[in-house]
Structure 1
Amino acid sequence: MAPETRAEGGAEATGQFAPANLAEALSAVCAAAGLDPAGAELLRCTNNAVFELATAPVVVRIVASNALRHRVDKVVRVATWLAEYDVPAVRLVPGIDQPVSAGPYMATVWESVPHGGHRPRGRDLAKLLLRMHELPEPSFPLPAWEPLDDVRRRIGEAEGLDAADLDFLRDRLDEVSDRLDALEFALPASLLHGDAHLGNLIPSPAGPVLCDFDSASLGPPEWDLTPLAVGVVRFGEPAGRYRELARSYGFDVTRWKGFPVLRAVRELKLITSVLPILSSRPEVRPEFFRRLTDVRRGDDSARWARYT
């Protein structure tokens, strides 16, 4: 099982992870890590190209966007920190210097999660988030929470958009950023997962485990409660999943006065996540433009489909 399930994201459009490059990238990373890539299965290629090896219980996660390479060292530190506190989460393969650098490629290498266990529920996510949020501040530097930083980077890399669409996204980014700066949060700052939805929990015989620490930071716990709430509205996820999360965590972010701002931030991230691959993955364009049109019209109830 991979340390990253279905996610909203995008590989870079510069060709680093065009289909012809995938085998080369995996071979280079495996050679550097002392692993055998023969028979590996590509599980997905969004913000990361994720492979499950056939020759060992290992998952290789290769950064697919140059704009996101700066996150890899942080991912390693956060994963190590969670392991030290025995938080149920994916584990790095021991004995390999991580992150793995191989020419132009940067990767992390993870132990596969054993198959089995129940489908993760809202209460599972709440339990794991509480574990993270109650940890002491890490002994290593972590970035402050800046949820719009990746949006800004992706808009800067965007290809295949006309000037009017880019201008709208820049204006929307500025507007949402100003609203975010004015927020006063109700909960004390903590270590955040940063992209806490049920797709980032992996079932295992011992119970669900957290994965995907690309967006980890120090910031307001309200943010980690937002993705599932937005998923109910935009993706039609069962409302009971969010109610279970809120009840188990002990805080309902949708009843907090700042939630509309966090929802706007989350939706802007969901829209722009595929900007770097609009040219190389034309199949995502219809959904991207549907989302963009809904926000431009102020349609808060329109349902969206997941990028695949």
Structure 2
Amino acid sequence: MTMTTDHAAEHAAGQAGGLTRDRLHSLLAAVCDRAGLASGDAELIKFTNNAVFRLRRAPVVVRIAGSSAARSRVPTVVRVARWLADHDFPAVRLLPGCEQPLQVEGHLVTLWKHVPEVGPRPGGGELAILLRRLHRLPDPPVDLPEWAPMAEVRQRLAEPEDLSAGDHAFLLDECDEVEERLAALDYALPAGVIHGDVFMGNVIAGPRGPVLCDFDSTGTGPREWDLAPVAVGRLRMDYPADEHTSLAEGYGFDVTRWRGFPVLRRLRELKLVTSVLPVLRSNPGIRSQWEHRMRSFKARDQTVRWQPYR
């Protein structure tokens, strides 16, 4: 589906680093031409921090970094994917035989083997197995970034689309407060490699079992953070099932019972609110849900349920 935009909005989006859907399809055609692939009938399956296309004429997924924050993480994504492949870890794999990442018209792009989803969706118990295995992997890349969640949030706040001055100031103040509270935390689990954005949407029901995807936030940091997104999802998101209980049981640690969890919850919600700021105008379909999240986040109302961005 393609959305039309007027020239002023197109120019403003380009100035802010955003990508409209029309521009995305043009860019996809250039990427596929470079890689020797056909872009016809490609399906846009995600458009938030990254734009993700599934090609119809080849088992390939194309991932286009949609902001400067996303672009800065692409080299790490490639290194992590190769490290996981070296250890035969169940994760999505880069498409072999082509340069990774590709640089096309000023954008960084990665190409991946498509993993067909078969059978029932994995649950928290399956995710616990993947996380335990990930956290035990040896020989991680020596240049993995240290966990720095506030730097990522502030980078998004540096390039927002259609964000009011009042909301911008509020979110910057929130960054300062959350960062101060994070610095005072005493973690219970040993630090190490973390995925950085572990929720059920980043687990695929592959033909050979569940696999992890999306390594934009992978680095070294507190393992509690890898357990927080599913816990926050149970409390905040309008999901049909509780995956947190089986994840906590399978992993052997319930992050919601740890005294630092309220800080991680606020951080996770801050990230869920700010994640789409660089494409807030470029992708107007997410505006209503973003406004819904922002209202309840500002009011510190933890009873309001959020829905996934569409």
Q: 1:181 aligns with which of 180, 183, 189?
A: 183
TM-score (ref. length: structure 2): 0.91
Alignment gaps of 5+ in structure 2: 1-12
Partner residue in 1 for 2:61: 59
Residues 232 and 238 in structure 1, CA contact (< 8 A), matched pair in contact too: no
Distance in 2 separating the partners of 1:294 and 1:93: 41
Q: CA deviation at 1:238?
A: 5.2
Give the aligned CA root-mean-square deviation in angstroms.
1.8
For this pair of structures, how many residues does the alignment match?
298
Distance in 2 separating the partners of 1:307 and 1:300: 18
Alignment of 1:111-190 (within 5 A): 111-190=113-192
Secondary structure, in 3 states, of the residue corresponding to 1:91? coil
Distance in 2 separating the partners of 1:256 and 1:303: 23
Q: Which amino acid aligns with 1:49?
A: A
Q: CA deviation at 1:239?
A: 6.2
Alignment of 1:22-61 (within 5 A): 22-61=24-63
Distance in 2 separating the partners of 1:300 and 1:53: 39
Partner residue in 1 for 2:274: 272
Distance in 1 separating the partners of 2:54 and 2:162: 32
Distance in 1 separating the partners of 2:18 and 2:273: 22
Judging changes above 3 Å, is the alpha-carbon distance between structure 1 residues 35 and 191 closer, same or farther for their aligned structure 2 residues?
A: same
Alignment of 1:212-223 (within 5 A): 212-223=214-225
Q: Which amino acid aligns with 1:136?
A: P
Alignment partner of 1:246 is 2:248: yes
Judging changes above 3 Å, is the alpha-carbon distance between structure 1 residues 70 and 133 closer, same or farther for their aligned structure 2 residues?
A: same
Q: Which moved more, 1:188-197 or 1:152-161?
A: 152-161
Q: CA deviation at 1:262?
A: 0.4
Q: CA deviation at 1:122?
A: 0.3
Report the identity percentage: 53
Residues 137 and 190 in structure 1, CA contact (< 8 A), matched pair in contact too: no
Q: CA deviation at 1:280?
A: 2.7
Distance in 1 separating the partners of 2:14 and 2:153: 14
Q: Which amino acid aligns with 1:213?
A: F
Secondary structure, in 3 states, of the residue corresponding to 1:247? helix
Secondary structure, in 3 states, of the residue corresponding to 2:52? strand
Alignment partner of 1:72 is 2:78: no
Judging changes above 3 Å, is the alpha-carbon distance between structure 1 residues 12 and 274 closer, same or farther for their aligned structure 2 residues?
A: farther
Q: Which moved more, 1:183-192 or 1:252-261?
A: 183-192
Q: CA deviation at 1:303?
A: 1.1
Structure 1 segments, 4+ long, off by >6 Å, are none
Distance in 1 separating the partners of 2:44 and 2:246: 33
Secondary structure, in 3 states, of the residue corresponding to 2:272? helix
TM-score (ref. length: structure 1): 0.91
Partner residue in 2 for 1:198: 200
Distance in 1 separating the partners of 2:298 and 2:233: 19
Partner residue in 1 for 2:239: 237
Distance in 2 separating the partners of 1:99 and 1:270: 26
Distance in 1 separating the partners of 2:218 and 2:279: 23
Q: Which amino acid aligns with 1:21?
A: R
Q: Which amino acid aligns with 1:304?
A: W
Residues 13 and 278 in structure 1, CA contact (< 8 A), matched pair in contact too: no
Distance in 2 separating the partners of 1:33 and 1:195: 29
Judging changes above 3 Å, is the alpha-carbon distance between structure 1 residues 13 and 180 closer, same or farther for their aligned structure 2 residues?
A: farther
Q: Which moved more, 1:62-71 or 1:198-207?
A: 62-71
Distance in 2 separating the partners of 1:175 and 1:12: 32
Q: Which amino acid aligns with 1:202?
A: I
Partner residue in 1 for 2:108: 106
Secondary structure, in 3 states, of the residue corresponding to 2:173? helix
Partner residue in 2 for 1:6: none
Alignment partner of 1:307 is 2:305: no
Alignment gaps of 5+ in structure 1: 1-10
Q: Which amino acid aligns with 1:140?
A: V
**1:152-186 Cα deviation digits (max 9, x unpaired):** 01111123222222111111110001000111211
Q: CA deviation at 1:276?
A: 1.4
Distance in 1 separating the partners of 2:68 and 2:126: 33
Q: CA deviation at 1:12?
A: 8.0
Q: CA deviation at 1:199?
A: 0.5
